[in-house]
Amino acid sequence: MGVTVKDVARLAGVSTATVSRALRGFGSVDPSISERVVDAANRLGYVGSHAAAALSTGKAGTIAIITPFVDRLAFQRMLTGVEHELRDTGMDLLIYCTGDPSDPHPVPPHKRLAKRVDGFIVMSLSPESPDLAEILNLRMPLTMFGAHAPGASSVQIDDREGAASAVRHLLDLGHRRIGIVYGRESTNPLVLEHQRHLGVRDALAGQGVERDEELSVAGEFTMTGGAAAMERLLDLEVPPTAVFAFSDEMAYGAIQTIRRRGLALGRDIALIGYDGHEMSSILDLSTISVPFEELGARAAHILLSDIEDGGSAGPVSEMLPTELVVRSSTAGSGTTPASRAAAAAGTPD
């Protein structure tokens, strides 16, 4: 319980410095010696102390993802990308979850992580958040995910255009009364939601359609929130004929409500989501596809370069494209659950 460099050095008959060099594959070590060292290490089952190495080098060998939630598909997908990118780099991955405002992490991220990691990927942290300010203030390598902060690297999508294309799609279909299920209230222009609201307005204005405030409801970015939001929308005196949800998950909840009310998705009411999760294809939900995995991979890549260069390259911002995916939730014919069922009952395919 506690094999150290010294033990390896003794067994191999060399100094600890040589052990250190050999084990890290420095070219400047005699091959035969190196082999002897590796051999000794294996025989002893030596595993280096990360803490000691980190203390000595001043590098943590770790990056952290700071996120307000871990139970969302978007997080899962970006994690997949990050993890994949990190796999071969020897960097470890720490998850720091800030938590809901109702159930926050007891220690602010900058306190907890500053001297513990080499850099951060910050996901969906509200620009208003004091945590963000503190993190930026650390002046450590950092990549923002899905948002932007002046002076920091970031990966994102064009939320404004993405939202606009969703609404344009609905408008093209002839809808004029369009419900919006957004996440949370916010007035900060740096919040991605704000951009999406702008996109909605852009599209509406493009067709000269007046915006009706009562058609915008919050869905908290959750399925249950989306279900409740759709309830409110359907309870309006004049309900919308089409709804754009700012996330697929909220759209899933909306679908649940639609079904509970005995309405047919895509026929009685059109619905489009945002995110392009795999699940949406099964629900026949139209959506704006967002390449979360790739965004995650890019974020990790940028962060890693930043850590390596010491930030000499300056902040980098990448914007990846979204894509409108049309399915029967907005098609209104052909492959709607309703029409499909009718077809199955009538003429055998």
Query: Site residues (CB under 7 A) for DNA?
Result: 2, 4-6, 13-21, 23-24, 27-30, 33-34, 46, 48-49, 52-53, 55-58
Say if strands 323-325 and 286-289 run parallel, antiparallel, or are unpaired. antiparallel
**Between 176 and 260, CB nearer to a second copy:** 260
159-172 vs 192-206: helix crossing angle, rounded to 10: 40
70 binds, among a second copy, DNA, none (CB under 5 to 8 A by kind): a second copy
In whole angstroms, what is the distance from residue 293 CA to residue 51 CA? Answer: 31
CB atoms within 10 A of CB 180: 26
The order of strands in the sheet holding 178-182 is 216-218, 178-182, 242-245, 270-275, 286-289, 323-325
Alpha helices in the chain (DSSP H): 5-12, 16-23, 31-44, 50-57, 73-86, 109-113, 130-137, 159-172, 192-206, 223-234, 248-260, 278-282, 292-309, 328-331, 337-345
Told to check if 25 binds a second copy by CB under 8 A, we report no
322 binds, among DNA, a second copy, none (CB under 5 to 8 A by kind): none
Candidates 279, 316, 320, 325; binder of a second copy (CB under 8 A) is 279
- x-or-dash pattern for a second copy, window 112-151, by CB under 8 A? x-xxx-----------------------------------
349 binds, among a second copy, DNA, none (CB under 5 to 8 A by kind): a second copy
317 binds, among DNA, a second copy, none (CB under 5 to 8 A by kind): none
6 binds, among a second copy, DNA, none (CB under 5 to 8 A by kind): DNA
Rg (C-alpha) for the chain, rounded Å, is 26
In whole angstroms, what is the distance from residue 145 CA to residue 124 CA? Answer: 6
Told to check if 244 binds a second copy by CB under 8 A, we report no
Residue type, position 273, single letter: G
211 binds, among DNA, a second copy, none (CB under 5 to 8 A by kind): none
Told to check if 340 binds a second copy by CB under 8 A, we report yes
Nearest CA-CA partner of 338 in 266, 234, 255, 251 = 266
Residue numbers at the binding site for a second copy (CB under 8 A): 47-52, 54-55, 60, 62, 70-71, 73, 75-77, 79-80, 83, 87-88, 90, 92-97, 99, 103, 105-107, 110-112, 114-116, 223, 252-253, 255-256, 259, 261-264, 268, 278-279, 281-284, 337-345, 348-349
